[in-house]
Structure 1
Amino acid sequence: MSDPLANQAHYTAGDIEPIDYIKAQGWFPAFACGNIVKYVTRYPHKNGVEDLRKAKVYLDWLIEHEGGK
């Protein structure tokens, strides 16, 4: 299964990817949790399984981030 958030040009257009800036500011755990909640709660009404896949990407990133502690 591919990462639905990977390699999208609008994320890499600037000098720093937004996700890297968020991590550098220490905001990543809250950001990831917010996106997990967003995608899980909207999946039955908007994009179905695709939204669940996006939630999983954020959950996997959060697990990886927290695993380094």
Structure 2
Amino acid sequence: MNMNFEEDLINKPSHYHKNEIDVNGYLEKHFPKEGGYTVAEGFYIGNVIKYVSRYKNKNGLQDLEKAAANLKLLIELEKANECS
């Protein structure tokens, strides 16, 4: 059996598919088009989940900081929506 394989970093990077969980599939299932989220909300939510789920296998603390920045943007968006 040939265990040498080249990872597909474009279509299926391993850091998004750990422990049988596909981050993109999760987002598609839990945040469907008809789910009532705006594009911006979906973008921020997806980025938070993406960065937190991969931080140990990719960029460490930098990915956690990216997740925090996206969560902050989502919070600011939600506060603006409450005021309008």
TM-score greater than 0.5 by the shorter chain: yes
The percent of aligned pairs where both chains have the same amino acid is 45
Inter-partner Cα distance in structure 2 for 1:68 and 1:33: 17
C-alpha RMSD of matched pairs (Å) = 0.7
Moved over 6 A (4+): none
Q: Which has the higher contact order (CA 8 A, sep 6+)?
A: 1
Matched residues, number: 44
Structure 1: runs of 5+ lacking an equivalent: 1-25
Q: Residue 63 in 1 paired to residue 69 in 2?
A: no
1:53 aligns with 2:53: no
**1:66, CA displacement in angstroms?**
0.4
TM-score (norm 1): 0.61
Structure 2 stretches lacking a partner, 5+ long: 1-37
TM-score, normalised via structure 2 length: 0.51
